[in-house]
Amino acid sequence: MRLLPLLICSILLAGCASNAKHTPDGIWINQAAIDAAAESGRLRESLLAYGPNLEWQIASQHQQASYSNGFELAEGHLTALADGHWQVSFYGDYQEQLHVAGNRLTQIASGYWPEQHFIRLTDSTGTPPPLGASFEQTLYRAYLGGDWLIEQGPGQGGLVRFSPKGEVAGLPGAERYALCLAGDCAAMSGEHDSIWLQLGDQGSPWLFVHEGNQLRIFEAENRAQFDEMPQYQPGPQRWRLKRR
C-alpha cells in the first residue's frame, strides 16, 4: 500500500523538476557578447555580432518580459507555449519567441532580430535592478576590471581602476565613466569605440582602442558641420594605460 503514495510523489517531483528546467524567471544576459568583447577588445563589433539585445528580465507570475539593447527598453506580455517555449507580445503587434532550457535562454530568430543566446544571471528574487544594469556591470567587470597603470598621459605612473558601477578612480579629470553600447553615441562615433568620462556635472565623449592589456584613449574630434549630428574621429592620444 505504501508503493502508490511513493509513485505519486515521484511523478509530482518529476513534474516540478521539468517545470523548473523550463522556468524563464530571472535576469538573463548576453554572455557571448561580453566574452567576445573581453577577448578581442572590440566592443561595438562584439555587441553587433552577438546582439543586438543584451539583457532580458522575465517575471512569469506577472506575465512580463522586458529586454534592453543598450539604448532601447521594451516591455512585453509573456505567454507560455509548450516544451519550454514562450511568446512575448509587444506594443505594435509584433512578437518574439523564447526557448528556455535550464540556465540558457534562446531568442528565436524573427523578422526583427537574429537568433541570440543568454545565460541566467540570477533568479527573480526581490526587486530586480534597472533593466540593462546587470549586463552593463558584468561587461564592465570583464572588459575593464583590474588595475591599470598610466604609461603615458596626465597622471603618468599612477593606477586607474574602473568599477563595475561606472566609477573610475585615478584617472585625472574623471570620476565616472560609461561605455557606449548603442544609440546616438554609437552613431556619432561610427566604427570607433567610445567612452564617456565625467567629473561632477561636466562630461564629454572620448574614443578608445582596447588591444590586449593596453587601453589607449583619444580626444574625440568632431568632423561634422555645426548644424549636423557630431561625427567623431580620433584626435590626439590623451592616455595609454596598461593592465597589470
Which domain CATH number covers 80? 2.40.128
User: Of 97, 122, 141, which residue sits at a domain end?
Assistant: 141
Q: Give me the pLDDT at residue 13, please.
A: 39
| pLDDT tens-digit readout, 1-35 | 444 444 334 434 334 434 455 689 999 999 999 99
**Full domain range(s) for residue 152:** 146-243
Domain-embedded: residue 220: yes
Query: What crossing angle do the helices spanning 31-40 and 43-50 adopt, rounded to 10°?
Result: 150
| pLDDT tens-digit readout, 104-124 | 999 999 988 899 999 998 755
User: Of 112, 141, 170, which residue sits at a domain end?
Assistant: 141
136 and 150 assigned to the same domain: no
Domain-embedded: residue 160: yes
94 pLDDT more than 80: yes
162 and 233 assigned to the same domain: yes
User: Of 141, 163, 186, which residue sits at a domain end?
Assistant: 141
123 and 155 assigned to the same domain: no
124 and 196 assigned to the same domain: no
Q: Give me the pLDDT at residue 123, please.
A: 59
Domain-embedded: residue 53: yes
Q: Give me the pLDDT at residue 145, please.
A: 96
Cell (9 digits) for 137: 556591470
96 and 155 assigned to the same domain: no
Domain count, the chain: 2
| Mean pLDDT, residues 29-54 taken together | 97
107 and 173 assigned to the same domain: no
Strand intervals (E) in the chain: 26-29, 55-59, 64-68, 73-80, 85-90, 94-101, 104-107, 116-122, 147-152, 159-162, 168-169, 176-179, 193-199, 202-211, 214-222, 232-243
Domain-embedded: residue 3: no
Domain-embedded: residue 8: no
62 and 89 assigned to the same domain: yes
Domain-embedded: residue 12: no
175 and 88 assigned to the same domain: no
Domain-embedded: residue 10: no
| Mean pLDDT, residues 138-145 taken together | 98
222 pLDDT more than 90: yes
Q: How far apart are CA 80 and CA 87, in angstroms?
A: 6
| pLDDT tens-digit readout, 160-217 | 999 999 999 999 999 999 999 999 999 999 999 999 999 999 999 999 999 999 999 9
* pTM, 2 dp: 0.89
136 and 31 assigned to the same domain: yes
User: pLDDT class for 126, splitting at 50, 70, 90?
Assistant: low
Q: Give me the pLDDT at residue 22, please.
A: 67
